[in-house]
Every structure is written in C-alpha cells, then in structure tokens.
C-alpha cells in the first residue's frame, strides 16, 4: 500500500500527498475506537479506492505533536517577533522558546520590521540577538517592506515542516507574502482572524514555500505550560542547562541552592539576567499550576 503525508485536514477528510498526487482520504473507523486522530504532518499508509479517494490505514509514529495548532512532525518553528510596533518582548519570546524546546522543535528567531526601527532600537535588538546567538539560537533580522534579510529564511525551510508563530501584529502574514506572493489572500485571512481572535477554528494546511512545507496557521493559541514539570524547565533554556552540569546538587532548580553554577553564571554575566528572571517566573508559574486529575 502507498505511503504519504497529510497536508490538509478538513471536515473529516484528510488530504494525503504521495509523489505529487493528492488523495482525499477518510480515517478508518478503528482510529476513533482507539482514540487516534490523524493530524496534518502525519506520515501515513493509505489505500486508494480510485484516483481521487481512499482510506488511511495506518498512522506512522510521530516525533512530536502540537495540540494548538493540531499538527505533527514539526521540524522548525519560525518565531516571528517585531523590532517595533509592537516592541520586542524577550519575556514572550522566552515563553515561545520554552514551548518549542519542550516539543523537540528547532526554533529560528526572526525579528521583523527592522526598517521601522531607529538606530537606538536596532542597537537594543542587536544586543538581544547577541545574547540569543550565544545561547545557541539562530537569529535573523529582516524587513518584509524592503525584503532585507528575507533570503536568509529559505535555507531554514528547505526539506522541513515549519510553523510560523508569534504575537499578533508582528508581520507573520507580510513575511509569508514575501516568501510566496501568491498567498496574499490566505495570509490576509490569517491576520484578520488574528485581529478578531477567531483563528482557533481555522483548519491547518501545509503549503510549499521554497523546498519546504510551512503550516498555514496562525500559530500557537495557547502559551501555558500545561505539560512541563519544574525539573524539565532547565532543559528548555540551553545556556542554563549547560551551566547546570556544574551545580553541586543533582536536581538543582537554581533558585536558592548553595554553590549553584547557574546563579554564579548570572552574576558574571555569562547568562543574561533577564533570561534567568524569566526562568524563575516560569518555574513559579509551573509550581503554582493547579494539579490535573
């Protein structure tokens, strides 16, 4: 039986691409019984009834899955943040980074609207960019208006499944328009949906950009740390994880423990203080979370 990838899910149908041909499939009844929901991004085995229709017979093992947006096997998250209008927010970026790291997705930080920023604002942004690059992240500074830096994005999309995510108004739709101009209508729908806050019901679809697939979706609609445990948070901050190997105690949470290598690294400036403060805030949020039964 042929294998393919689900590129769209809509009204109980799954659109599976195999060697350039798209087959509209239904899921087998046994999926419902076993509580398996095929997701966009899933690699599947399907049986074609004819040239247009078929049934999904098996969903292959996933490397990850997101609930909102509902998508599986994501390789990269392009985290889109603006230099200005709205102002760059490291606190919100760190929240996105934690969720992406926890789901084993590689983040690319993309800072837009550089053409609107003053010299002073660009200096501030470049300071943040240095910090994030030192932590091991790829940081791109771009402008959809002038198209400066846009070409840097294409190699990161090549051969991957990517999602674009970021707060409303940062220019995700403008960026997608520059990357693939014929998407104008779709991305306008995304931005207006975001503005009205109705985007949660929108279907997810994988679209070709360059040599990769990008999820045509408004991105993460939940930014709460519902699954992450306190001990797992360190692993979502690469520079804290690295320094924690030198901590005196195993299982150190880097808050009040004596001879904590992470706290020492904050004092010496090896770890930016704002990153550490965000770590502490997120840790408290996880500890204060109501238990789920």
Per-residue pLDDT of 170-202, as tens digits, reads 888 889 889 998 876 444 443 434 333 334 446
The residue behind tokens 């679209």 is 207
Same domain, 148 and 169: yes
Same domain, 89 and 199: yes
Q: What percent of the chain has pLDDT over 90?
A: 69
Same domain, 118 and 144: yes
Residue of 164, 81, 91, 83 lying closest to 122 (CA atoms) = 83
Q: Could you tell me which residue, 290 or 88, shows the higher pLDDT? A: 88
Same domain, 211 and 240: no
Same domain, 25 and 160: no
20 located within any domain: yes
CATH number at residue 171: 3.40.50.300
Does residue 16 carry a pLDDT above 90?
Answer: yes
224 located within any domain: no
Same domain, 76 and 206: yes
Does residue 136 carry a pLDDT above 90?
Answer: yes
Mean pLDDT of the chain: 89
223 located within any domain: no
Same domain, 103 and 48: no
Does residue 167 carry a pLDDT above 90?
Answer: no
Same domain, 145 and 256: no
Identify the weakest region by mean pLDDT among 116-130, 136-150, 166-180, 216-230. Answer: 216-230
Q: How many C-beta neighbours within 10 Å does residue 9 have?
A: 21
Same domain, 56 and 144: no
137 located within any domain: yes
Separation of alpha carbons 110 and 142, rounded Å: 7
Does residue 18 carry a pLDDT above 90?
Answer: yes
What pLDDT is attached to residue 220? Answer: 66
Does residue 168 carry a pLDDT above 90?
Answer: no
What pLDDT is attached to residue 218? Answer: 60
Residue of 76, 69, 65, 28 lying closest to 203 (CA atoms) = 69
What pLDDT is attached to residue 93? Answer: 96
For 198-240, write each residue's pLDDT tens digit.
344 467 889 999 899 998 766 666 688 989 999 999 999 999 9
Mean pLDDT, to the nearest integer, of 16-27? 93
Mean pLDDT, to the nearest integer, of 123-132? 98
What pLDDT is attached to residue 291? Answer: 75
Mean pLDDT, to the nearest integer, of 35-63? 92
**Token duo for residue 47:** 């049986």
Mean pLDDT, to the nearest integer, of 58-63? 95
C-beta of residue 166 within 8 angstroms of C-beta of residue 80: yes
Same domain, 51 and 102: no
Domain tally, the chain = 3
162 located within any domain: yes
* Domain of residue 95, residue span: 71-215
For 63-86, write each residue's pLDDT tens digit.
999 887 889 999 999 999 999 999
What pLDDT is attached to residue 194? Answer: 38
Specify the pTM: 0.88
- Band (pLDDT 50/70/90 cuts) for residue 242 is very high
Residue of 212, 162, 210, 171 lying closest to 190 (CA atoms) = 171
């Amino acid at each position: 039986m042929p294998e393919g990838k689900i590129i769209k899910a809509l009204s109980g149908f799954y659109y599976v691409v195999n060697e350039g041909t798209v087959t509209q499939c239904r899921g087998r009844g046994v999926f419902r019984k076993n509580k398996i929901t095929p997701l966009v991004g899933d690699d599947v085995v399907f049986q074609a009834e004819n040239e247009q229709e078929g049934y999904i017979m098996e969903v292959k093992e996933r490397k990850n899955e997101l609930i909102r947006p509902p998508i599986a096997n994501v390789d990269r998250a392009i985290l889109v943040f603006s230099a200005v209008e709205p102002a760059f927010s490291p606190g919100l970026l760190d929240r996105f980074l934690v969720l992406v790291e926890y789901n084993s997705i590689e983040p690319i930080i993309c800072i837009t609207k550089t053409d609107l920023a003053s010299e002073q604002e660009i200096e501030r942004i470049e300071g943040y960019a240095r910090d994030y690059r030192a932590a091991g992240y790829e940081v791109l500074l771009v402008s959809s208006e002038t198209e400066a830096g846009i070409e840097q994005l294409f190699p990161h999309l090549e051969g991957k499944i990517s999602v674009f995510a970021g707060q409303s108004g940062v220019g995700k739709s403008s960026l997608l328009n520059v990357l693939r101009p014929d998407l104008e209508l779709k991305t306008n729908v995304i931005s207006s949906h975001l503005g009205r806050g109705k985007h949660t019901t929108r279907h997810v679809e994988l679209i070709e950009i360059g040599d990769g697939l990008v999820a045509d979706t408004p991105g993460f609609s939940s930014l709460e740390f519902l699954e992450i445990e306190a001990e797992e948070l360190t692993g979502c901050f690469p520079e804290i994880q690295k320094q924690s190997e030198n901590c005196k105690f195993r299982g150190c949470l880097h808050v009040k423990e004596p001879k904590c290598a992470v706290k020492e690294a904050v004092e010496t400036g090896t770890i930016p203080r704002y990153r550490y403060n965000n770590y502490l805030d997120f840790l408290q949020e996880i500890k204060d979370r109501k238990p789920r039964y």
